[in-house]
């Protein structure tokens, strides 16, 4: 009699559904509770003949353990499942996701790439060089005299020479212009040379709306037989009109640089007032965008190029300067402050 009851209850316990909180609760009360079916069978143990009591008792204990094990396992599974449900049960999984915010190109990179594209169309390939330079490539090879004020500590960041450098090695510095790369290509590349060199340069300047200790340049150089100032002017005209439009005028103002002779500064029609005069162009109608000239024969000779046979022109422009004109930005510091309100205004990729 007891054996049959135990077998029937064992079958029930093995097959009972335990898949949610309600069935778990019912199982616990029905089988494991103080007034449950197992407790009821334990009560009936006293009616079992004495010689069977021990065996029946053992079967009942085993069944109780089995019921408890099933219950514990189901409860753990239910808790694990509960951990995966969202904190907010009303969350609507069919809503579209919040899109990832796309970054924008930095205005200096946009202008740099546009400038390089314009020069690439007339055959100028990019050349790059190190930001830490030696005195030769930054000054001496470019015809800066020994006592030139640009070599002064107040204009240039000098750095400790690299580890293992020979004693008495030449001074090292953060390059003050990308003309260093002009020297490097003249020293190493076969003629004719037609290169454009973008890069970051450093000057020992107090940071203000109009000056910074770090800025960017795009320089270019062309060296071949019979290159004239007319070729230089044509390249500058082409570049300015490609970048700013055919209605922009250009003028060359005589100037002086140690590494070019003759030298000129390049002015273009003020983009803000179109030449009428405004506070950006100081009411002149013109703004300066860079410098240029014919490569000084001494600079060619320093790079072991025969200045009797070859001539060339070079120019340099500030990327910040052109970006400020193009986007009408009035404070140089905005380029490096990483203010999202400023950066978000430029073209997304």
* Residues at the contact surface with Zn ion, assessed by CB under 5 A: 270, 272-273, 278, 280-281
Q: Which is nearer to Zn ion, 3 or 328 (CB)?
A: 328
What 130-133 contacts at long range (C-beta under 8 Å, 24+ apart), as own/partner pairs, is 130/175, 130/180, 131/174, 131/175, 131/199, 131/200, 131/202, 132/159, 132/172, 132/173, 132/174, 132/175, 133/172, 133/173, 133/174, 133/175, 133/180
| Burial zone of 333 (CB within 10 Å; 0-12 exposed, 13-18 middle, 19+ buried) | middle
What is the smallest separation between the CB atom of 171 and Zn ion, expressed in angstroms? 41
CB of 271 to Zn ion, least distance (A): 8
Closest distance between Zn ion and the C-beta of residue 244, in Å? Answer: 13
Please, where are the H alpha helices in 249-289? Answer: none
Q: Which is nearer to Zn ion, 178 or 269 (CB)?
A: 269
Task: Supply the minimum distance, in Å, between the C-beta of residue 205 and Zn ion.
Answer: 25
| Sign of torsion over alpha carbons 136, 139, 144, 148 | negative
Q: Which of residues 272 and 329 has its CB atom nearest to Zn ion in the complex? A: 272
The least CB distance from residue 268 to Zn ion, in Å, is 11
Distance of CA 5 to the CA centre of its chain: 75
Pairing of strands 125-126, 193-202: parallel
Q: How far is the CB of 250 from Zn ion (least distance, A)?
A: 15
Nearer to Zn ion, 191 or 272 (CB): 272
- DSSP for 152-169 reads STTT--EEPPPTTPPTTP
Instruction: Kindly tell me which of 214 and 278 has the beta carbon lying closer to Zn ion.
Output: 278
The structure tokens listed for 192 are 């004719």
Buried residues in 90-118 as b, exposed as e (16+ CB within 10 A): eeeeeeeeeeeeeebeebbebbbeebbeb
267 vs 320, beta carbon nearer Zn ion: 267
Separation of alpha carbons 236 and 241, rounded Å? 9
Residue 328 CB, shortest distance to Zn ion, in Å, is 11
CA–CA separation, 122 and 235 (whole Å): 9
Place of tokens 């212009």: 177
- What is the number of the residue whose Cβ is closest to Zn ion? 270
Which residue number, 157 or 286, has a Cβ lying nearer to Zn ion? 286
Strands (E), 123-192: 125-126, 132-134, 158-159, 172-174
Closer of 115 and 281 to Zn ion (Cβ): 281
Minimum distance from residue 274 beta carbon to Zn ion (Å):
8
Give the residue with the Cβ less far from Zn ion, 187 or 265: 265
Q: Which of 311, 269, 279 is nearest to 293 (CA)?
A: 311
Minimum CB–partner distance for residue 225 and Zn ion (Å):
41
């Amino acid at each position: 009699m007891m054996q049959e009851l135990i077998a029937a209850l064992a079958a029930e316990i093995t097959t009972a559904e335990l898949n949610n909180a309600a069935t778990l609760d019912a199982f616990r009360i029905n089988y494991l509770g103080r007034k449950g079916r197992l407790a009821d069978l334990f009560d009936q143990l006293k009616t079992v003949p004495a010689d069977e009591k021990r065996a029946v008792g053992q079967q009942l204990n085993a069944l109780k353990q089995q019921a408890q094990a099933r219950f514990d396992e189901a409860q753990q599974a239910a808790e694990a499942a509960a951990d995966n449900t969202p904190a907010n049960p009303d969350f609507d999984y069919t809503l579209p996701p919040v899109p990832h915010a796309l970054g924008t190109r930095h205005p200096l990179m946009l202008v740099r790439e546009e400038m390089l594209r314009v020069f690439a169309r007339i055959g100028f390939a990019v050349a790059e060089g190190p930001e830490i330079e030696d005195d030769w490539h930054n000054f001496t090879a470019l015809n800066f005299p020994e006592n030139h004020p640009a070599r002064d500590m107040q204009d240039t960041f000098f750095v400790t020479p690299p580890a293992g450098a020979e004693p008495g090695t030449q001074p090292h510095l953060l390059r003050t212009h990308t003309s260093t790369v002009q020297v490097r290509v003249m020293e190493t590349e076969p003629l004719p040379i037609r290169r454009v060199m973008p890069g970051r340069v450093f000057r020992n300047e107090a940071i203000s709306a109009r000056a910074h200790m770090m800025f960017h340049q795009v320089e270019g150089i062309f060296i071949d037989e019979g290159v004239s100032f007319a070729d230089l002017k044509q390249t500058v005209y082409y570049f300015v009109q490609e970048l700013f439009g055919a209605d922009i005028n250009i003028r060359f103002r005589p100037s002086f640089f140690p590494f070019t002779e003759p030298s000129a500064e390049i002015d273009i029609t003020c983009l803000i007032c179109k030449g009428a005069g405004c506070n950006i162009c100081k009411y002149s109608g013109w703004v300066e965008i860079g410098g240029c000239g014919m490569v000084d024969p001494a600079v060619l000779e320093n790079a072991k190029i025969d200045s009797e046979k070859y001539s060339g022109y070079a120019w340099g422009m500030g990327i910040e300067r052109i970006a400020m004109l193009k986007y009408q930005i009035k404070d140089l510091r905005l380029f490096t402050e990483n203010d999202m309100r400023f950066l978000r205004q430029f073209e997304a990729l």
